[in-house]
Amino acid sequence: MSYIRKRIQSFSHAFRGMHTLYKETPNAQIHLIVAIIAVALGFLYRISSGEWLAIIITIGAVFSMETMNTALERLSDYACKKEIHPTIKKVKDLSAAAVLIMALVAVAVGLIIFLPKIF
């Protein structure tokens, strides 16, 4: 298989993964709705380039963390055949905590950018 064909195929796999994430992960759907609201508010309040940069990086970080969390959860469930294993439970809890931390950071970024504009 040629180099270019392999790269195209790798993008195909990545887009299929994004489709799976949004179709099968309720939290990713919530993140998507909040991201759309943040972008809409950005246009409404005409935020600066620096603020756009913060919003875009934060949205990307939240989605990346959610994607890694989902992948780790699926792999963990597969590895332990969906049986409860104390170590797997800790790994899944830590992975979920990483998403929560990033989501809280995203809320903080949103509040810092939008609260002064709203009030």
What is the pLDDT averaged over residues 11-37?
97
User: Do residues 28 and 63 lie in contact, with contact meaning Cβ atoms separated by under 8 Å?
Assistant: yes
Does residue 19 register a pLDDT over 80?
yes
Residues 6+ apart with CB under 8 A from 91: 72, 76
Which tokens hold the place of 65? 């963390």
What is the pLDDT averaged over residues 32-61?
98
Burial (Cβ within 10 Å: 0-12, 13-18, ≥19) of residue 58: buried
pLDDT confidence of residue 82: 84
Does residue 50 register a pLDDT over 80?
yes
What pLDDT, in 10s, does the model give residues 77-113? 999 998 899 999 999 999 999 999 999 999 999 999 9
In percent, the amount of the chain with pLDDT more than 70 equals 99
Distance in angstroms (rounded) separating the CA atoms of residues 27 and 73: 13
Q: What is the mean pLDDT of the chain?
A: 96
Distance in angstroms (rounded) separating the CA atoms of residues 6 and 19: 20
Distance in angstroms (rounded) separating the CA atoms of residues 80 and 63: 26
